[in-house]
Structure 1
């Protein structure tokens, strides 16, 4: 595949999810021999998400006027990726527009809704501003072959096959005992969190809850205070994790609670049962989005009802967890379907190659 210069633009909106997606995209492009500049308006989270950086990826402060001027003085990139409608700096768009034949990609949010298949790959002419006369192309990640697919490392399956759960837990000094269920918790402040903690505390099996740093840890501590054990429930609070270590967390657990976009995808690749807390929207559009994903997943009724309660739909009680049986089978089937499809970077490079 031809080596190209890629400029990826990302704004940190909330909870680092956009940055997480863009960092994975940048790294996977670099692994394939591409040269990448990641323009970001707040790179603070990379200090724990990717403390060692990545060869072939240069991070640039979007708000640094000197860096902006230096980029304008250089040749424009071959590919401009506008992540999640973030509107790159006008000076850089103007520089990009000086050379015809470049690829401008509008990377959209992930969804299982039907419109994704209809809009993926469609052109979007630019009629005003410094990019007037150019054409963007919509790129929609998704769960079906008619979409842009999901981010996936080429060696993901091999990495998982070589993963040693016991060793990973020991290295992180997590006091896990054989036979103890492991559950990861990465969430906002779900209304059913108290009910979940009570359910796990009642048993009947012992559960160790691995709580991620940030909002999830704050939410649990607000309910339990300094307690780290209650009934059949034991809690381990984790530090901020690098992206590879977050993946390892998901691989280690028997059930994963995830939130947003990046962790949903990583939860699917883990192949274990998962519960998704979708980002809430004021007009309740997230209800439709969650329903579409559950439809694609083929979620059994118990898993669908649990998602509704976890996401605050209606007033029903939190159903019991199922870490085996239909929930596990559903997760494994979803992973196999996704592995049979081309990954996002492969499809993105193909789209750019067609433009050239």
Structure 2
């Protein structure tokens, strides 16, 4: 059974991060032949270091990775075609789908959302020109959606890793971090933020030491301004008051998972890191991608309403205020102090949320089941 997944890289690494994980899982756990079509192979090579950023086609971890560019060469469509995040397929490929004598399942894999309307739209068909149906497939946080991307045994791997202090210490040292005994360990991988300096001010003056691990990314310019340091780079280390900052190299997906597992709190961005932070079972900040006319606010609030349902009102208000202030580019000093007041409750809730979401079927499996039912 052959599957084609098309990915147009929009948000640096969120789109390719999701589709690369999905492609690997479909191959490894479901025995499928998967072609991953990517329009920015260089972005793919950042999260898959062994990949060539210039190759037009290559085999990586069982996935056939193809460069998708303007000079499209016609190919025979696969049995299942996934149009990830509403990217526009090549016109000749669409024509081949409509003219094929084989039944081809065409899916539009949508962005992850907790909004109420998602359940009602999941799995609905849309008639395309040529009489072919395209189905909307929505990942989500309820059993009436397509579920979440989660590899088999992921939570067990995380639990084993967290329980093994030596493994955690070795991993941190392998990425250039010397752990500080007793420090609160946190990761920072967000978009640019005007509120960052207010957060760092609080951490600098805190009574407890914080070790902040910052992978290379868009937040480095703001961080450099706060430190009064130009051109921060991987391997740099800076100490101010109770705050120790370590700049990390850009790391591949499995290492990023382990980084999240090591930390007590994770500030993340984009769909891939947002979901992986949830599987880490730790309190988190999601810096949602800003959309026109404030559409991102509804999406963020929908998740917070669901996520905070089992929290006490005060703890829910604390994490909500922190997220809102960060995305509004406002000071997060007071909201962060509120988060610290409810730290134990938020930590226990993050683990419980992770376990609850793991009770639902994972995204790759629901995709395969949808295709089998369609047949």
* TM-score in terms of structure 2 length: 0.88
Whole-Å separation in 2 of the counterparts to 1:88 and 1:25: 19
Counterpart in the other structure of 2:119: 117
Per-residue displacement from partner, 1:71-107 (whole Å, max 9, x unpaired)? Answer: 52xx430000001110111111222221342110100
Q: Is the 8 A contact 1:10 1:83 kept in 2?
A: yes
Alignment of 1:142-221 (within 5 A): 142-163=140-161, 164-221=167-224
Q: Deviation of residue 272 (structure 1)?
A: 0.7
1:22 aligns with 2:19: yes
Counterpart in the other structure of 2:328: 312
Q: Deviation of residue 205 (structure 1)?
A: 0.3
Whole-Å separation in 1 of the counterparts to 2:350 and 2:120: 26
Any stretches of 5+ residues in structure 1 without a counterpart?
A: none
Q: Deviation of residue 181 (structure 1)?
A: 0.9
* TM-score in terms of structure 1 length: 0.92
Any idea what SS the aligned residue of 2:221 has? helix
Whole-Å separation in 1 of the counterparts to 2:69 and 2:359: 41
Whole-Å separation in 2 of the counterparts to 1:346 and 1:250: 25
Counterpart in the other structure of 1:135: 133
Whole-Å separation in 2 of the counterparts to 1:143 and 1:28: 19
Q: Is the 8 A contact 1:102 1:355 kept in 2?
A: no
Per-residue displacement from partner, 1:115-164 (whole Å, max 9, x unpaired)? Answer: 1111001111103xxxx210011100111111111100102022113313
Q: Deviation of residue 315 (structure 1)?
A: 7.2
Q: Which runs of 4+ in 1 moved over 4 A?
A: 313-317
1:225 aligns with 2:235: no
Any idea what SS the aligned residue of 2:41 has? coil
Alignment of 1:1-356 (within 5 A): 4-31=1-28, 32-52=30-50, 54-63=60-69, 65=71, 68-69=72-73, 71-72=74-75, 75-97=76-98, 98-127=100-129, 132-163=130-161, 164-226=167-229, 228-298=238-308, 300-312=316-328, 318-319=334-335, 320=337, 321-322=339-340, 324-356=343-375
Q: How many residues align?
A: 344
Q: Deviation of residue 317 (structure 1)?
A: 5.1
Whole-Å separation in 1 of the counterparts to 2:346 and 2:280: 13
CA RMSD of superposed structures (Å)? 1.7
